[in-house]
Amino acid sequence: MPIWFGGDYNPEQWPRDVWDEDVQLMQRAGVSLATVGVFSWAKLEPREGEFDFEWLDTVLDKLHAGGVRVDLATATASPPPWLTHAHPEVLPVTVDGVRLSAGSRQQYCPSSPVFRRLATRLVTALAERYGAHPALELWHVSNEYGCHVSHCYCDVSADAFRTWLQTKYGSVAALNDAWGTSFWSQAYSTFDEVYPPRTAPTFRNPTQLLDFDRFSSDELLDCYRGEAEILRAATPDIPITTNFMGWFKPVDYWKWAAEIDVISDDSYPDPTDPLSPATGAMTRDLMRSLRKGQPWLLMEQAPSAVNWRAHNAPKAPGQQRAWSYQSVARGADGILYFQWRQSVAGAEKFHSGLLPHAGTDSRVWRESEQLGGELAALAEVVGTRVAARVAIMFDWDSLWSIEQGATPAQQSYFEGIFAWYREFFTRNVMVDFVSPSFSLDGYDLVVVPSLFVATAAATENLDAHARSGGQLLVTYQTAITDENARITAGGYLGALQRTLGVRIEEFAPLAVPVYSSEIPTVELAGTLLGDASGELWSEYLHAKGARVEATFTTGALAGWPALTRNDVGTGAAWYVATRPDAAARGRLIEHLLGEAGIEFALEQSGLEVVRRGELTFVINHGAAPAAVPVAGTDVLSGASSPGLTLDSQGVAIIRADS
């Protein structure tokens, strides 16, 4: 089976005399999979209870005759006008109490029983009609859950939230204890008194906010489940997906991944951002990690420009090909786009398509046609895996909690993760992401950036990793609260104090000067870090058995530990009480890789090198030509390496000579 290639196909936007040309051009471009019907509810059900499938019958039959497989969407991502006109109570309500209107997309409350009833009725009809269609390859449930409405604060959502809380806590007394409602006279006498955390005079209850984030993710998941259950019953052998959105804050993808057959992702890095190759790689590694290494599907990307930035720069020549191969290298078995034919009307008419407004006599078309042909010849990649000996722990509870108000310092959890990830990326070291509940067996180095919410099981997991011979690096703002947003028993770090051999006395976040955009820093010194600075954070740290590897050298913390190491079991547990500057982070990571016995090669001239299965992908993200550092034969060009040079955005896939 070749790598899937294609994208969203929206024939309902075009007259029927275009459909035959679409199929012919898909064949020419090497399209093997088309996502159909994502936003077609109004076409499929033009009036409540009246279905029109004739047009879709024709489209699927034409695609099948042309050899194009179908990822059939359930079309429930955008309710039609008749639905919200007849049932305005379905429309979502913002945190400020404003009911949103129709006229866009995703205009529904996830808890609405009316929406769920009408959505599942449509899905049932689709499953009955197309479950046995020979073109059907994959079911696509809804679209980008939570992208525009991730939290609804209406009265229907309030009732659903109360039910969720009753299931979780069992009693109001247990809820009061978990939420710490003795503070600010917030104690509840019945669940009926509990509401969503709507706009309030000042800071809202932190645990209520955290639980509402969890509830909101779960309500969207219940919407997915309702549709997926219908599809599984009708077509148990057809896999089901829904498209994720990378590092999307509102939805806990660890929880969702267990219920999705094929992980798929929508990825739109900024082509003008020099960090995009690294942030793109990090997103692709997360997608691969969600189902513990299982290959995944790039569901959407732009062939060139998007339409929603302030300035929508096109991708550079070769960039969409290079970024597509980055996805393949990091575990993708399919490369799809939004969308096939560029729209001539609507809010996304300036979003690029594989077949652009300029037609086939265009750079975008020629690049797409080239890529489709190349991917068709790479069947040997499909199903192979990517090996990683480094893991970075990522947790949605910590993301939701650390970015609340009323915390020691406002900070971006994503930026903290990326700061450490980038050091591995620039050294061409593969990284898996892990949930706190995942087994850490097989990883020689585990990095834990600001695991703000840590359960007892999570801290035991980390302790066991170090004691069994692993290298463990824990950063500031880890294990500050338990799962109920209460300060960790025993003080900051909780049981990790013993693992790390340290104790935190007091936080000392670095203040940002008024009217300044500069990142605040503090000076550091130590053999491992060299002359360095720490960014954003510092704290009063006591070494309780750990060896001090670096200290703060300026200000009130001068002489206090900034980096420590504690030998525990047969491994080592490191703690860093600030974010070292990039050069210092790099030196520390190189030292830890050395202790873990992991080889690395510092990236040169923007060259990314990734091994998947028996092939090594080499991608030149830099501006200048670069020599391929891997020996063998390029399966794309047939050229031999060494001696092979890649231009900017060039790609080679090297098979070692036998």
Distance separating alpha carbons of residues 311 and 333, to the nearest angstrom: 31
Integer CA distances (angstroms), 583 to 269, 516, 530, in order? 25, 23, 9
Q: Tokens representing 347?
A: 């809010």
The closest of 369, 400, 564 to 476, measured between CA atoms, is 564
Distance separating alpha carbons of residues 188 and 203, to the nearest angstrom: 18
Residue 650 and residue 318 in contact, taking contact as beta carbons nearer than 8 Å: yes
- With tokens 């992702």, the residue in question is 265
Q: Tokens representing 32?
A: 């093997």
In DSSP terms, 617 is beta-bridged to: 610, 653
Distance separating alpha carbons of residues 130 and 73, to the nearest angstrom: 11
Query: Which residues make Cβ contacts (< 8 Å) with residue 551, sequence separation at least 6?
Result: 524, 525, 526, 558, 559, 560, 561, 562
Q: What is the distance of C-alpha 614 from the center of its chain?
A: 27
Q: Which of 144, 219, 549, 608 is catalytic?
A: 144
- Over the Cα atoms of the chain, what is R_g? 26
Distance separating alpha carbons of residues 143 and 139, to the nearest angstrom: 11
Q: Tokens representing 288?
A: 């691969």
Q: Which of 45, 300, 374, 539 is catalytic?
A: 300
Distance separating alpha carbons of residues 244 and 142, to the nearest angstrom: 11
As a 3-state breakdown, the chain gives helix, strand, coil percent values, each rounded to 5, of 35, 20, 45
Distance separating alpha carbons of residues 576 and 50, to the nearest angstrom: 62
**Angle CA(374)–CA(283)–CA(238) in degrees, nearest 5?**
65
Distance separating alpha carbons of residues 650 and 633, to the nearest angstrom: 15
Strand order of the β-sheet with 136-140 is 240-241, 136-140, 69-73, 33-36, 4-9, 332-337, 296-300, 264-266, 243-244
Please, what sign has the CA dihedral across residues 352, 353, 356, 360?
positive
In DSSP terms, 536 is beta-bridged to: none
403 is catalytic: no
Residue 450 and residue 408 in contact, taking contact as beta carbons nearer than 8 Å: no
DSSP 654: E
Neighbouring C-beta atoms of residue 110, cutoff 10 Å = 27
DSSP element (H, E) containing 632? strand 632-634
Q: Tokens representing 240?
A: 């089901």
Q: Tokens representing 257?
A: 């991944």
- With tokens 């790099």, the residue in question is 586
Residue 313 falls in which region: left (phi positive, over 0), alpha (psi -120 to 50) or beta: beta
Distance separating alpha carbons of residues 113 and 94, to the nearest angstrom: 18
In DSSP terms, 139 is beta-bridged to: 72, 240
144 is catalytic: yes
- Catalytic positions, written as ranges: 144, 300
